[in-house]
Amino acid sequence: MSDRKMELRHDRHTVSLLSDHMVFATKYRGKILVDDVAMIAEGIICKTCVEMGIEIIEIAVNPDHVHIFFRYPPKYSLSYIAKKLKGVSSKRLRDEFPHLKEWCGDHLWAPSCFHGSVGNGWEVVSKYIETQDVHHAKNAIYRPRP
């Protein structure tokens, strides 16, 4: 991990080093984040983060969940960040891909999410998210549909 990532964030009235590892899943853990849907989802999440002043350190879009490791300004709570990222991406993805509306109706994401506050373990979290594609490929089990 570069030293740049560990630098303190200096805003007008605060100095902070707030980082989080957030994971949120699709509704019913449906494996819908594939191909163009995954690519567009990552773009929407990244753009929303830029608009909020959130720095993404690592992101992995898997077929049924998303990992994001990021630095965020103290003016936002983690619940607000999750609500914003899930809300914006859900609306835009359902507008862009009408078949998602048929599958999930008004909500693309499951209502819950995981937050892991990250202190000195930046390298561990970054490496874990970076290797998500390999991790999921090794653990993929073929389950024929009934």
Evaluate whether 114 touches 22 at the Cβ level (below 8 Å): yes
* Non-local CB neighbours of 86 within 8 Å, separated by 6+ positions: 24, 108, 109, 113
pLDDT digit string, tens, across residues 116-144? 988 767 788 888 888 887 656 555 554 44
Q: Tell me if the pTM is above 0.85.
A: no
pLDDT digit string, tens, across residues 23-63? 999 999 999 999 999 999 999 999 999 999 999 999 999 99
Q: Does domain 9-120 have CATH number 1.10.10.10?
A: no
The catalytic site residues sit at: 128
Where do the domains of the chain lie? 9-120
